[in-house]
Structures are given as structure tokens and as C-alpha cells.
Amino acid sequence: MPFFRSTFFVFYLTYISQFSFGQSIEQDVDSLYQVFSDETELRRGKHVIKFVVPYFSSEPEKALQYIQEIERRGLVQRDTIVLINCNALYAEYHWRKSDYKSGIEFGMKAIQLAETSDRFEEELARGMQTVGTIHLFEYNKDEALYYFNKTIPIYERTNQQKSANGLLNNCGVVYMDAALKQKRDDYYDSALFYFNQVIDRRDNSHKSTVMNALGNAGHILIVKEDFVSAKEMFDDWDQLEKENPNPSSRAMNYGNVATMYRELGEFDKSEEYYQKGLQHAIDLGMKFEQMEYYKSLALLKEMQREYKRALEFANRGTAMKDSIYEIEKATAINELETKYQVAKKEQEIFTAKTELEQKERLQFFLIVIISLVVCFSLFTVVWIKQRHKLKQELLSQEIDNLRFQINNYLKEDEDQESDLDITIVNKDLNKPISDREFEILQLAMTNINNREIAEKAFVSVNTVKFHLKNIYTKLGVTNRKEAVEVILNRN
């Protein structure tokens, strides 16, 4: 969401309290213009527009009505500053409704108007930030970075460092999303670069921005398996969060903290943070996060060979997944029903027209009905496909549950241990192989693949690749075959 100066609201409340609002839209706007009648055009335009911002969260449709009325005045008075801000607000209204295409169109209108004069530099920055934010939500990496990087210098020139740092954080988020979606590990380094800038400038940043940067940086360090640095980040985040309690931030970040402790082998602490994060997710009604917490707890208990509890958490995760699916299906059906009811009411109005118009309205009604049938048919096809996919996932879950139950009563056969001696392997090596790497090396000496090694070692495939790369470097080889030859020669 675009940043707006919080100092306005102090100014606004000081003057606005003497006027009566909540009448008609036109009367409210009249009162606003009276409040700021002595201001310059530039400042008056900014203050009048900022009146709309709080309505986006509580009454978005009322916000739209205010924008339309203020825009009407701006057109009559040829007030460019008002028209720029109206287009920026239209953009925000549409992207909040996930209409990203319209949001970008209005954002570009704001930018084009702001570029007509150097006086509108601050409005230009706001327009570019809005467009960049919409691209961020659409996962358009290059476009988002382009607009953010053009906006940051403007905020720095106009002494709005907190807003500039907020955009640095957004650049980090862009790279982090791209790293996840495109499987590009180098993007994590770019994201970490931006987050570290925000952390280094914490004295000139909003605390929420710093907390976001610390949490994201900690997550990246976990991915990079730098758990010591990750712990420092999360300790820093935890201290800042205690000063500024944020249940939503806890719900999101406690999972990362728990994963860090799990990878460090501190299972009790890991479970503690998983449970605390889960409780916050439940309190806030964050169903997707609840499902992820149950999945993580099932994995943790499986690693501890507590298969009965693992099964319990896995079942809860499955139930939560079903709940999310049902909510999404009900929402889609309600939206379709709403569209149908709107079309039906429109038809009732049209039938009150003259007989000549009735024929045209009837044709329109038929078109609407056909469109609804087509939409419903498409929805049914998608729903059937999703249902089939869910059944496949449930079948896979049932297989996993059966495995948990079997493991609860029977011990799996222990893997045949290798006769490798770590002392012999490390002989004459400049940098010895660690115990964890030696465990991976022993598994790599067999015929199993990286995924099977990951399963036996209870780590991710990426972690296996990371350890193997370190082992090859220390042995002076480039692949598993060469590594085996070196080890056999040493033994």
C-alpha cells in the first residue's frame, strides 16, 4: 500500500473537528475545502485528498464516491494537483480489489500528469510507488523494481527517508518472491542486500518496516543454512516486536524461528515456537498459516519418531485444507449468485420501459443469462478439476497416515552402516569433513539418489546438494564418482 505522511492526521484533526461530516458526499467535500481554504493550491490539494485514505479500509465504496466528487471539483477548477491525487487514489482503489489492470492504468495517468511540472515531484513519487506496488502484487519483478528504484531518489531528495527505506524493503520483497517462484538462489542475495540496508538505517525507518526486513532476512538466512546469523536476526526482531506487539507478525515469523531451531536440532524450542505461531494464526483466523503450522508440526514429530502425534497433526492439516477449499468454493458460488441477482434486478427495471424497449431489454437479458450459464459451466469444470486434484492429495495423505501408523508399531530396519572411517577420510585434507558432511558422504557412497539421501538424513534436497558441494571441494573432486574413487583409495 502506498505510504502517506502520518503527520497529516494531527493537522487534519486539529482543524476538521469544528465541521460536521457524514452528511452528503457533496457537503462533506464542501466542508473540506472550507477547512483548507487559506492553504496554497499544492497543500490544499494534498490535504483534501488525504481525507479519503482512511475510508479504503472501512468503506471502500464511500472512498470511491469521495474521489469522484473531488475529481469533479478538480476538473471544474483545473486543479492539477487534485487530479493527480485522484488518479493515484483510483489506482489504489482498484488494486485493493485485485483489479490490477485498471489500477496500473490510473497510476500511469497520475504519473503522466505529475510529469508536467517539477512542482509535482512528490505526487510523481507517490504515483510511481503505487504502480510499482501493483507490479509487486502481480509478481512482475522488473517492472516493480524499475518504479521503486525511480521513486527512492525522489523521497531522499525531499527528506522522506522513512518512505525511501520502505521502498528498499519492497525491493527486497520483490527479489525474495522472484527467488521462490523462479528457483533463483542468487535473487536471495539481492533480497538480503536490500533488507540489510533497511536494517542498517533503522533509526530513519518505520519500526514496522524494520521488523519486516528482519523477519525476511532471517527467513533467507535459514534458506542459506546460516542458522547462526538467522538467530541473530530473529533475536533482534523479537526484541523490536516486544516493544511494538504485532500478533500478525508473530503468526508469520514464529514459523521461521521454529524452522531454524528444528534445523539446529533444538526440537523442544522448535515445537514451542510452532505452537505459539499456530495459536496466533488461530486467534487471527489465518487458515492458510494454520494449515502450514500443522504440516510443520507433523514433520517435526516424524523427525522425533513420535509417529502418533505426527499423524494427529497431519490429520489436522488435512482438515484445515478441506476447510479452506470449502470456503473458496462457497465464495465463488456466492459471487456467481450475486452477479445473477444483479442481472435479474436490471431486467426487472428494463421491463418497465416501453414496448419497443422491451424487445431490446429481453435480448440483453438473454445475453446476460447465457453469460451466466457459460460462467457457471466454466466454474463447474474448474471445480471438478480442483475436486479431482484434492482427492488425489487426500489419497496421498491417507498413504502417509498409514505409514505413520505402521511406524508407530514397527521399527524400520536400520540402514547398513558404512565401514568408512572419518579419521582416514580426513587424513591430509586441508579442511576436514564435518560429522554432518560425513553422514551425507556415507549415504552418498550407496546407490541412492539425492532425494533418498534427504529423506534418510531428514533434510531438504537443497541441503544435500549444499553438503555434497562442500565435500567435493574439500576432496578436490567434481562429482560423486570421483569422490567414491578418492575414498576407496584412502581406505
Locate the domains of the chain by residue range: 1-140, 322-409, 422-490
- The least confident of 32-36, 216-220, 410-414 is 410-414
pLDDT band at 344 (very low <50, low <70, confident <90, very high): low
In 10 A of CB 224, how many CB atoms? 16
- Residue pointed to by grid coordinates 483545473: 78
- Residue pointed to by grid coordinates 436490471: 346
Residue 404: partners with Cβ closer than 8 Å, 6 or more residues away: 302, 307, 308, 310, 311, 314
Mean local confidence (pLDDT), 110-135? 91
Fold topology of 422-490: Arc Repressor Mutant, subunit A (1.10.10)
459 or 353: which carries more pLDDT confidence? 459
- The least confident of 48-52, 67-71, 274-278, 415-419 is 415-419
The whole-number pLDDT of residue 76 equals 85
Classify residue 186 as exposed, middle or buried by CB count within 10 Å of its CB (0-12, 13-18, 19+).
Answer: exposed
Q: Chain-wide mean pLDDT for the chain? A: 79
pLDDT band at 345 (very low <50, low <70, confident <90, very high): low
Q: Is pLDDT of 372 > 70?
A: yes
Residue 393 CA to residue 461 CA, distance in Å, equals 22
pLDDT digits (tens, 9 = 90+) for 258-296: 888 888 889 999 999 999 888 988 888 888 888 888 899
Level-2 CATH architecture, domain 1-140: Alpha Horseshoe (1.25)
pLDDT band at 392 (very low <50, low <70, confident <90, very high): low
The whole-number pLDDT of residue 426 equals 82
Mean local confidence (pLDDT), 338-347? 51
The whole-number pLDDT of residue 188 equals 92
The whole-number pLDDT of residue 462 equals 92
The whole-number pLDDT of residue 368 equals 79
Share of the chain above pLDDT 90, in %: 20
pLDDT band at 37 (very low <50, low <70, confident <90, very high): low
Nearest by Cα to 35 from 26, 27, 44: 44
- What's the predicted TM-score (pTM) here? 0.57
The whole-number pLDDT of residue 51 equals 76
In 10 A of CB 349, how many CB atoms? 9
Residue 45 CA to residue 39 CA, distance in Å, equals 9
pLDDT digits (tens, 9 = 90+) for 61-87: 888 888 888 888 888 888 888 888 889
SS3 string of the chain? CCCCCCHHHHHHHHHHCCCCCCCCHHHHHHHHHHHCCCCCHHHHHHHHHHCCCCHHHHCHHHHHHHHHHHHHHHHHHCCHHHHHHHHHHHHHHHHHCCCHHHHHHHHHHHHHHHCCCHHHHHHHHHHHHHHHHHHHHCCCHHHHHHHHHHHHHHHHHCCCHHHHHHHHHHHHHHHHHHHHHHCCHHHHHHHHHHHHHHHHCHHHCCHHHHHHHHHHHHHHHHHCCCHHHHHHHHHHHHHHHHHCCCHHHHHHHHHHHHHHHHHCCCHHHHHHHHHHHHHHHHHCCCHHHHHHHHHHHHHHHHHCCCHHHHHHHHHHHHHHHHHHHHHHHHHHHHHHHHHHHHHHHHHHHHCCCCHHHHHHHHHHHHHHHHHHHHHHHHHHHHHHHHHHHHHHHHHHHHHHHHHHHHHHHCCCCCCCCCCCCHHHHHCCCCCCCCHHHHHHHHHHCCCCCHHHHHHHHCCCHHHHHHHHHHHHHHHCCCCHHHHHHHHHHHC
- Residue pointed to by grid coordinates 524452522: 259
Q: Is pLDDT of 21 > 50?
A: no
Residue 192 CA to residue 196 CA, distance in Å, equals 6
Q: Is pLDDT of 430 > 70?
A: yes
